C-alpha cells in the first residue's frame, strides 16, 4: 500500500495571505460596520463570505464576457427547486482558496469550521430534485458551459422540521434572517407577470388576427443573482432567483382611511408567491398559489432569456441556436405556452414558426413514474388564472390530436390518452403531456426509469413521437460529496490514486489494487471510524442517544414517502429487536438504525410513519435487556449540511423503494462513493450501481418491477405472505397492539391494516427477502476483511456517477453545446461488471 498520507499544501503566499486578512478586516469594518473586538461569529462569516464573493464575481464577469464575445449557445435551467445548501466552503474549495482563507481567519483568531456553521442552509428544495439541480449547476460551471439557473427566491424555503413528542412539526425556515451575502440584488432586472383578466382578438385590416391579453392582476418579478463557481475557479455561472412584489406596495389612499391591512393586501398577495416552497395544496387557495408560483418563475425567466437573446443576437428566429432551455420536472412546463405567447403575441411571429422554435429550444426531464406526480390543473382554474395560456394549450392540443388521429384513426382511447386535456373526472390540463409534446427531447434519469417511461406514463406519446425519449442517468458532484464532506477519505485517495484524482474521477479505479490489502483496509477503516465518531457525537448532542461508533451504521436518509418504504426498514427493526430480546446472549451484530427526512406537511400517513419511528426508538433505546445491540435514531430537520455528516459515516445504505417507483435516486450514489454498501431493490439507479460495483458488492432483494405489477394485479391483500412469515406477523401485531405506543394503543392500527390488506407498496410481500438480505449483511460485517474489500470497491467503481459525466451527455445529446476538455475515456459509456 502507499505510504501513510499526510496532507501537503504548498507554502502559502505570504503576500496573498496578508491581502486576504486585510480584505476580511475591511469588509468587517466597512460592510458590516463592526470593529474586530465587537464582531460576532456571524459578522466574521459575512465579512469572509463577502471577501470571497468579490473574487468569484470578478471571475464571473470574465466568464460572461467570454461567452458573449464568442457567441456561445447558453443553457437555461428551469427548476422550482435548488437545494444548494451552504456555499462558503464549497466555493472556497472550488476556487482553490480553502487553505488561504483558513490560515487568514486563523491568524485573525477565527476558526473556519465555526464560520461554516454560521451559514444557514439554503433549503430551496425538497430532496433529490433540488439537490440534482444544484449539482448540475456546479458541473455546468466546471465544464465551462455558459448557463443560467432560474428559480424562486423563497423567503422560508421548505420548512424547518421539529420533532415534538415524536410528531413532525413544521416551522418557517428563516434562512434569510441575517441576509444572504452570496446574492446580488438586481432591482433593474424586473419583469411584469400577469394573471387573470380577459382576452381580446383584434384584426389588423390585412386579415391577420392578433390577441391581446388584458390582465386582471400584475406582479413584479425582481432578480437576485448568486454566482456558482466551477472546479478550479475557471468558470462561474449565475443562479437567478425571482422575488415577487406588487407594483404598488401600499395603497396610500386606503391606508389613510384607516384600513391598514387592506392598504397592503396586494403586496401580501404578491409576496405569498415566494413565501414557501410547495405550499399545502389541500385547499383551493393552496392549489391556486402553486400554479401562480409556477407561472411566475417561468414567465419572468423566459422574458429574461428572450431579452438577453435579443440584446446579443437581435433575431428571435435563431433562438434555438443560441439557447437551450431545460425544464427540470413538470413544474416549469408552462414554459411551452409562455414562450409561444411571447413569440406570437408580443413579437408577432406566425404560429407554425413559433412552434418550431419553441419545440427546438425546450427539453424536459421527467423525474417520476407516479401518475399523481405528473401535475394536472383544473381547466376552470387555468381559465381564471391564465386565460391566454389555456387558449394556446387548446390550439397546441388541436394540432397534436390531428396527428394522433392520423396515426391511429378512429382510436378514441388513444386520442383520450395522449390529449393535453383530461376529459375524465373534471376537465384538467395534463402538464406532463404538455411538457412531452412541447419538447424536442424528453429524458429519464436512470436506464430503468427511461425504459419504464416508454412502457407506462408516456407509452402512447412515445408511439406518437418516437425517438424523443432518451436516458441521462443522474450524477453527483464529487467536489461536495467527497472532497468537502469526507476530507480524510479524499486525502487517502490522493495518496493512493494520485493528485489527479481530484480532476479525473476515473483514477478511483486505482483503488481496486488495494481492496484486499490488509494495511490499506486498516487505513481505510480508520477514516470511516473517524467519521462515525463525528456522527455519533452529533446524535448524542441532538437526541441524547449514545451510538457506538463500532456498531454497523445503517442509514436511510430521504423524504418520507410510502414508496420509499421507511416502513419496511422499521418493520425489520422491530423484528430484529424482538429476536434480540428472545436471545440476548447470541452474537448479534450491533446496529444503529439512522433515519432522516421530511414528510410533506399534508401527507398525514408519512407523518404517522415518523411518529412510529420515534415511538419504536423510545422503546428500543431504553430497553436494557438488549444491551445496546440495537439503537434507533431519527435525525430531525434533514438538510444538505446534515447529509454531509451522515453520508461519510454510513456503513449500509438503504435504497429500498418499491421496484419501478424510484426514478433514479442520488443519495445511493453519494453513500456508495463514501464507502457504504447498498441494500436495495432493482429500482432506479440501483441497477446501474450494481452493474458498476459488481453484484457481489451490493445486496439486492425483493421483487422487480414486473413482479410488483403482477403482485398488485392479484390484489393488495398480504395475508398470504404474513401467514408464512412469523417474524413479519409478530412485528405487525406488536405495532397494532400498541407495544410501542402504550399511551395510545390504537395509534398505529391503520398502519397494521395497510400492511395486512392494502399492501400497494409490497412492504409485507418483500419483507422476508429483505430480512434475509439483512442477515447476509450481518454475516459479511462479521468478516471485517470482506466488508472492507466490498466497501473499498464501491468507492473505486463510482466514477461513472459524476454529474460531470451526466452534464456532458446533456450537452452533447440534448443541448448541442460544446464542453471544455475531453471526457475521461472510461466515462464515455457505463461498463458492466459480472464479478470483481
Which residues are known catalytic residues?
367, 558-559, 564, 666, 670
558's grid cell: 430521504
Neighbouring-strand partners of residue 442: 364, 469
Neighbouring-strand partners of residue 653: 555, 678
Cβ neighbors of 602 (< 8 A, separation 6 or more) are 280, 281, 282
Angle at 611 between CA 283 and CA 656, to 5 degrees: 90
CA distance 97 to 79: 30
Neighbouring-strand partners of residue 315: none
Supply the DSSP string of 619-648, one letter for each residue: HHHT-GGGTTSEEEEEESS--HHHHHHHHH
Question: Can you say whether the dihedral through the CA atoms of 537, 538, 541, 544 is positive or negative?
Answer: negative
Burial class (CB in 10 A: 0-12, 13-18, 19+), 375: buried
- Residue 675, Ramachandran bin (φ over 0: left; ψ between -120 and 50: alpha; else beta): left
CA distance 425 to 91: 50
Q: How many CB atoms lie within 10 A of CB 481?
A: 27
Whole-Å CA distances, 734 to 575, 720, 794: 9, 19, 37
CA distance 634 to 166: 9
797's grid cell: 467503481
Burial class (CB in 10 A: 0-12, 13-18, 19+), 180: buried
CA distance 639 to 629: 28
| CA distance from start to end of the chain | 19
Burial class (CB in 10 A: 0-12, 13-18, 19+), 257: exposed
Reduced to 3 states (helix: H, G, I; strand: E, B; else coil), residue 557 is strand
The two beta strands, 236-245 and 376-378, are unpaired
Whole-Å CA distances, 68 to 65, 228, 312: 5, 18, 7
* DSSP letter, residue 584: T
* Closest residue by Cα to residue 611 from 553, 657, 567, 546: 567
258's grid cell: 384607516
CA distance 125 to 179: 19
CA distance 378 to 416: 16
* DSSP letter, residue 111: -
Angle at 175 between CA 77 and CA 606, to 5 degrees: 80
CA distance 754 to 30: 62
* Closest residue by Cα to residue 596 from 568, 636, 632: 636
Buried-state track 793-810, b at ≥16 Cβ within 10 A, e below 16: bbbbbbbbbbbbbbbbbb
Q: How many CB atoms lie within 10 A of CB 328?
A: 24
CA distance 598 to 789: 34
Buried-state track 349-365, b at ≥16 Cβ within 10 A, e below 16: beeeebbebbbbbbbbb
Q: For residues 677 and 664, is the Cβ–Cβ distance under 8 A? A: no
Cβ neighbors of 583 (< 8 A, separation 6 or more) are none
Amino acid at each position: 500500500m502507499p505510504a501513510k498520507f499526510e496532507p501537503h499544501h504548498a507554502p502559502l503566499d505570504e503576500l496573498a495571505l496578508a491581502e486576504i486578512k486585510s480584505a476580511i478586516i475591511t469588509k468587517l469594518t466597512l460592510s458590516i460596520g463592526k470593529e474586530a473586538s465587537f464582531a460576532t461569529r456571524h459578522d466574521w462569516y459575512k465579512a469572509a463570505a463577502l471577501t470571497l464573493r468579490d473574487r468569484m464575481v470578478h471571475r464571473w464577469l470574465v466568464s460572461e464576457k467570454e461567452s458573449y464575445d464568442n457567441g456561445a449557445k447558453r443553457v437555461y435551467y428551469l427548476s422550482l427547486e435548488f437545494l444548494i445548501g451552504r456555499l462558503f466552503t464549497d466555493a472556497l474549495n472550488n476556487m482553490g482558496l480553502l487553505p488561504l482563507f483558513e490560515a487568514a481567519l486563523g491568524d485573525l483568531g477565527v476558526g473556519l469550521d465555526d464560520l461554516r456553521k454560521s451559514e444557514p442552509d439554503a433549503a430551496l428544495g425538497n430532496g433529490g430534485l433540488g439537490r440534482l439541480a444544484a449539482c448540475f449547476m456546479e458541473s455546468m460551471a466546471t465544464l465551462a458551459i455558459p448557463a443560467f439557473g432560474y428559480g424562486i427566491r423563497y423567503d422560508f424555503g421548505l420548512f424547518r422540521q421539529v420533532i415534538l413528542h415524536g410528531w413532525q412539526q413544521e416551522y418557517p425556515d428563516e434562512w434569510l434572517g441575517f441576509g444572504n451575502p452570496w446574492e446580488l440584488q438586481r432591482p433593474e432586472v424586473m419583469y411584469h407577470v400577469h394573471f387573470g383578466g380577459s382576452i381580446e382578438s383584434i384584426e389588423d385590416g390585412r386579415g391577420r388576427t392578433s390577441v391581446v391579453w388584458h390582465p386582471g392582476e400584475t406582479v413584479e418579478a425582481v432578480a437576485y443573482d448568486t454566482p456558482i463557481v466551477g472546479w478550479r475557479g475557471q468558470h462561474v455561472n449565475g443562479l437567478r432567483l425571482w422575488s415577487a412584489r406588487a407594483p404598488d406596495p401600499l395603497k396610500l389612499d386606503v391606508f389613510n382611511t384607516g384600513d391598514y391591512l387592506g392598504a397592503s393586501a396586494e403586496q401580501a398577495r404578491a409576496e405569498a408567491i415566494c413565501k414557501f416552497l410547495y405550499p399545502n395544496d389541500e385547499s383551493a387557495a393552496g392549489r391556486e398559489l402553486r400554479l401562480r408560483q409556477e407561472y411566475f418563475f417561468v414567465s419572468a425567466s423566459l422574458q429574461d432569456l428572450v431579452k438577453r437573446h435579443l440584446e446579443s443576437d437581435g433575431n428571435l428566429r435563431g433562438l434555438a441556436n443560441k439557447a437551450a432551455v431545460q425544464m427540470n420536472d413538470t413544474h416549469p412546463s408552462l414554459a411551452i405556452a409562455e414562450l409561444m405567447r411571447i413569440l406570437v403575441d408580443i413579437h408577432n411571429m406566425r404560429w407554425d414558426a413559433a412552434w418550431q422554435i419553441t419545440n427546438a429550444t425546450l427539453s424536459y426531464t421527467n423525474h417520476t413514474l407516479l401518475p399523481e406526480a405528473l401535475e394536472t390543473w383544473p381547466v376552470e382554474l387555468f381559465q381564471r388564472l391564465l386565460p391566454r395560456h389555456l387558449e394556446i394549450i387548446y390550439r397546441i392540443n388541436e394540432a397534436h390530436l390531428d396527428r394522433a388521429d392520423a396515426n391511429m384513426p378512429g382510436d378514441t382511447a388513444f386520442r383520450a390518452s395522449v390529449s393535453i386535456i383530461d376529459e375524465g373526472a373534471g376537465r384538467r390540463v395534463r402538464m406532463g403531456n404538455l411538457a412531452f409534446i412541447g419538447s424536442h427531447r424528453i429524458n429519464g434519469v436512470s436506464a430503468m426509469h427511461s425504459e419504464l417511461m416508454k412502457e407506462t406514463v408516456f407509452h402512447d406519446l412515445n408511439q406518437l413521437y418516437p425517438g424523443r425519449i432518451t436516458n441521462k442517468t443522474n450524477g453527483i458532484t464529487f467536489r461536495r460529496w467527497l472532497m468537502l464532506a469526507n476530507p480524510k477519505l479524499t486525502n487517502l485517495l490522493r495518496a493512493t490514486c494520485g493528485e489527479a484524482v481530484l480532476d479525473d474521477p476515473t483514477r478511483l479505479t486505482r483503488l481496486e489494487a488495494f481492496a484486499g490489502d490488509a494495511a490499506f483496509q486498516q487505513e481505510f477503516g480508520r477514516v470511516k471510524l473517524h467519521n462515525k465518531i463525528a456522527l455519533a457525537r452529533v446524535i448524542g448532542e441532538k437526541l441524547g442517544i449514545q451510538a457506538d461508533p463500532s456498531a454497523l451504521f445503517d442509514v436511510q436518509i430521504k423524504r418520507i414517502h410510502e414508496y420509499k418504504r421507511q416502513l419496511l426498514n422499521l418493520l425489520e427493526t422491530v423484528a430484529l429487536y424482538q429476536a434480540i430480546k428472545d436471545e440476548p446472549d447470541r452474537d448479534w451484530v450491533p446496529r444503529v438504525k439512522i433515519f432522516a427526512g421530511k414528510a410533506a406537511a399534508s401527507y398525514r400517513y408519512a407523518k404517522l410513519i415518523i411518529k412510529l419511528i420515534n415511538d419504536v426508538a423510545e422503546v428500543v433505546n431504553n430497553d436494557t435487556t438488549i444491551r445496546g445491540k440495537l439503537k434507533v435514531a431519527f435525525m430531525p430537520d434533514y438538510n444538505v449540511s446534515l447529509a454531509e455528516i451522515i453520508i461519510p459515516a454510513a456503513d449500509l445504505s438503504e435504497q429500498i423503494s418499491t421496484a419501478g417507483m424510484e426514478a433514479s435516486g442520488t443519495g445511493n450514489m453519494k453513500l456508495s462513493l463514501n464507502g457504504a454498501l447498498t441494500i436495495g431493490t432493482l429500482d432506479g439507479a440501483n441497477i446501474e450501481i450494481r452493474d458498476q460495483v459488481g453484484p457481489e458488492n451490493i445486496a439486492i432483494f425483493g421483487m422487480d418491477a414486473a413482479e410488483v405489477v403482477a403482485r398488485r394485479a392479484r390484489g393488495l391483500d398480504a395475508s398470504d405472505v404474513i401467514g408464512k412469515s412469523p417474524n413479519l406477523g409478530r412485528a405487525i401485531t406488536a405495532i397494532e397492539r400498541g407495544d410501542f405506543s402504550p399511551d395510545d394503543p390504537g395509534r398505529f392500527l391503520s398502519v397494521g391494516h395497510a400492511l395486512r390488506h392494502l399492501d400497494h407498496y409490497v412492504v409485507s410481500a418483500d419483507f422476508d427477502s429483505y430480512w434475509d438480505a439483512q442477515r447476509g449483511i450481518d454475516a459479511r460485517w462479521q468478516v471485517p476483511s470482506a466488508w472492507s474489500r466490498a466497501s473499498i470497491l464501491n468507492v473505486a467503481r463510482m466514477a461513472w456517477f459524476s454529474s460531470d459525466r451526466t452534464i456532458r451527455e446533456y450537452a452533447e445529446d440534448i443541448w448541442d453545446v460544446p464542453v471544455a476538455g475531453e471526457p475521461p475515456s472510461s466515462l464515455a459509456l457505463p461498463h458492466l461488471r459480472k464479478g470483481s
